[in-house]
């Protein structure tokens, strides 16, 4: 396998983007990524397009968006791994270059979630498990899946609703500094705790918002990066993947996501690093409880100690390990297919010392960053480790 570098990244504004169609939205990430990498459309040999789809008008969105962006003729695939689709596309593009099949490839993630009404969206993503055994008679919703984990974590470790609120407060603090974020305002304990109940114990402010957005990443071989004169290539140092049962009832417990544990151990092993070596991480905080589970699953905190990490500010800029200092899914927004590529965008910027606000640029010591992207409720997981 060859060394592979991230040489260009692009990101759209996340939000209710009824001002653009899915192709125009995709282009908002593709164009800056191409400019960043100093390449043009015909240079890209392969495109992996991430979207969950089924919630907007196109059946073949990859083809439609690729035509609009000028990629017609390139190798093309649509990747689906639920909310980890962006990482699945990144992984596909990474393999394409690492294997020697291409010298330049692109991963682009896009989701358009606001063309249908919210109850219909709840219906579609509530089926993100095992339909007949969880949805048909029981009406599971996406927040309900994570709420089940929250109830078990609270009972076992004494995690509280206030602990969950702390995660939301941190997310909003950094979202307020991120021009791409859906929510660019801070929140406080009262506002989080008094927001309406969605699926106990999760309230509105514990949930990432349904929104539209896109993000793109260009990957190159070492020779290609050199040829293009890329001054700060960001190397793909480790990747890990795993999955878990469709039926939650087949899981051994509800205290953490096994797929996150397995995927992260594979990525650490490939990279030859551990959680203590990281300068910054983006973890999958689709709900506040998910960020706490991630700290424990990824080895940032001991079991039951994640809430303490947040309370003590260890995951803030300047803390032991800054996490989700772009606002995370919670405040930045979670256009599901775009999220994995959005994480790589953020970490690439951080490792280049180019965060859009100096207030949220992390100090770099080991030049290592980790992206943790979960699909469904630990149904899929991808972990990526990047190095400057």
Partner 1 sequence: MWKSWPSIKSKPVTMEFEIPTNRTHKFWDYLEAGEFRTTRCNSCGTLTFPPVADCVNCTDSDIEWVELDGRGEVAAFTHVIVRPTSFQERPPYTIVIADLTDGLKILAWIEGSEMTEVEVGMKVQLKAGKTVDGEPSYWFVPE
Q: Which span sits near partner 1 by CB under 8 A: 24-32, 159-167, 242-250, 371-379?
A: 242-250
Instruction: Report CA dihedral (25, 347, 314, 331) to the nearest 10 degrees.
Output: 0
Would you count residue 197 as binding partner 1 (CB under 8 A)?
Answer: yes
| Helices within the chain (DSSP H only) | 22-37, 61-69, 85-98, 118-126, 142-157, 161-175, 189-193, 222-227, 258-271, 288-297, 306-311, 328-332, 339-351
* Residues 6+ away with beta carbon under 8 Å from 147: 198, 199, 200, 201, 202, 287, 289
Would you count residue 19 as binding partner 1 (CB under 8 A)?
Answer: yes
Minimum CB–partner distance for residue 286 and partner 1 (Å): 15
Q: Is the peptide bond before 201 cis (omega within 30 degrees of 0)?
A: yes
Minimum CB–partner distance for residue 162 and partner 1 (Å): 18
Number of chain positions touching partner 1 (CB under 8 A): 45
Q: Which helix (H) or strand (E) holds 217?
A: strand 213-221
Cβ–Cβ contacts within 10 Å for residue 19, how many?
A: 10
Catalytic residue among 172, 241, 334, 379: 334
Q: Which helix (H) or strand (E) holds 382?
A: strand 380-387
Nearest to 373 by CA among 214, 203, 239: 239
Q: For partner 1, which residue of 38, 200, 227, 276 counts as binding (CB under 8 A)?
A: 200
Report CA torsion sign: 195, 200, 201, 206: negative
Minimum CB–partner distance for residue 110 and partner 1 (Å): 18
Would you count residue 253 as binding partner 1 (CB under 8 A)?
Answer: yes
Site for partner 1, residues 111 to 170, rule: CB under 8 A: 115, 119-120, 122-123, 126, 130-134, 137-141, 143-144, 147-152, 154-156
83 carries an active-site annotation:
yes
Site for partner 1, residues 162 to 181, rule: CB under 8 A: none
Q: For partner 1, which residue of 1, 196, 229, 231 counts as binding (CB under 8 A)?
A: 196
For tokens 């606000």, the residue is 357
Site string for partner 1, 53-92 (x = CB under 8 A): ----x-----------------------------------
Pick between residue 31 and residue 251 the one whose CB is nearest to partner 1: 251
Would you count residue 309 as binding partner 1 (CB under 8 A)?
Answer: no
Report CA torsion sign: 139, 212, 216, 66: positive
Chain positions contacting partner 1, by CB under 8 A:
16, 18-19, 57, 115, 119-120, 122-123, 126, 130-134, 137-141, 143-144, 147-152, 154-156, 196-202, 247-251, 253-254
Active-site residues, by number, are 83, 334
């Amino acid at each position: 396998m060859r060394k592979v570098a991230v040489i260009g990244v692009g990101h759209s504004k996340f939000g209710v983007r009824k001002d653009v169609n899915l192709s125009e939205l995709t282009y908002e990430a593709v164009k800056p990524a191409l400019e960043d990498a100093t390449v043009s459309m015909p240079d890209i040999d392969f495109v992996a397009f991430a979207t969950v789809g089924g919630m907007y008008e196109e059946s073949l969105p990859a083809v439609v968006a690729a035509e609009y962006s000028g990629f017609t003729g390139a190798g093309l695939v649509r990747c689906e791994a639920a909310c980890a689709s962006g990482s699945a596309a990144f992984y596909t593009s990474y393999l394409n270059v690492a294997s020697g099949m291409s010298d330049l490839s692109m991963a682009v993630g896009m989701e358009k979630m606001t063309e249908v009404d919210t109850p219909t969206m709840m219906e579609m993503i509530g089926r993100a498990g095992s339909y007949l055994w969880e949805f048909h008679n029981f009406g599971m919703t996406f927040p309900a899946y994570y709420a089940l984990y929250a109830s078990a974590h609270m009972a076992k470790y004494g995690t509280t609703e206030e602990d969950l609120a702390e995660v939301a407060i941190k997310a909003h603090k950094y979202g307020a500094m991120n021009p791409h974020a859906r929510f660019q305002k801070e929140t406080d304990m009262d506002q989080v705790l008094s927001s309406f109940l969605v699926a106990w114990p999760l309230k509105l402010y514990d949930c990432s918002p349904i929104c539209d957005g896109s993000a793109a990443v260009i990957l190159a071989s070492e020779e290609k990066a050199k040829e293009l004169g890329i001054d700060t290539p960001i190397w793909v140092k480790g990747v890990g993947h795993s999955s878990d049962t469709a039926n939650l009832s087949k899981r051994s417990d509800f205290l953490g996501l096994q797929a996150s544990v397995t995927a992260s151990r594979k990525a650490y092993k490939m990279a030859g690093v551990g959680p203590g070596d990281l300068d910054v991480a983006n973890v999958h905080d689709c709900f506040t409880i998910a960020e706490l589970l991630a700290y424990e699953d990824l080895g940032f905190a001991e079991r039951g100690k994640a809430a303490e990490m947040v309370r003590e500010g260890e995951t803030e800029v300047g803390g032991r390990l800054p996490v989700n200092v772009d606002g995370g899914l919670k405040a930045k927004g979670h256009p599901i297919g775009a999220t994995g590529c959005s994480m790589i965008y953020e970490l690439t910027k951080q490792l280049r010392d180019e965060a859009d606000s100096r207030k949220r640029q992390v100090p770099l010591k080991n030049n290592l960053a980790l992206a943790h992207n979960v699909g469904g409720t630990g149904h899929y997981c991808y972990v990526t480790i990047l190095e400057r």
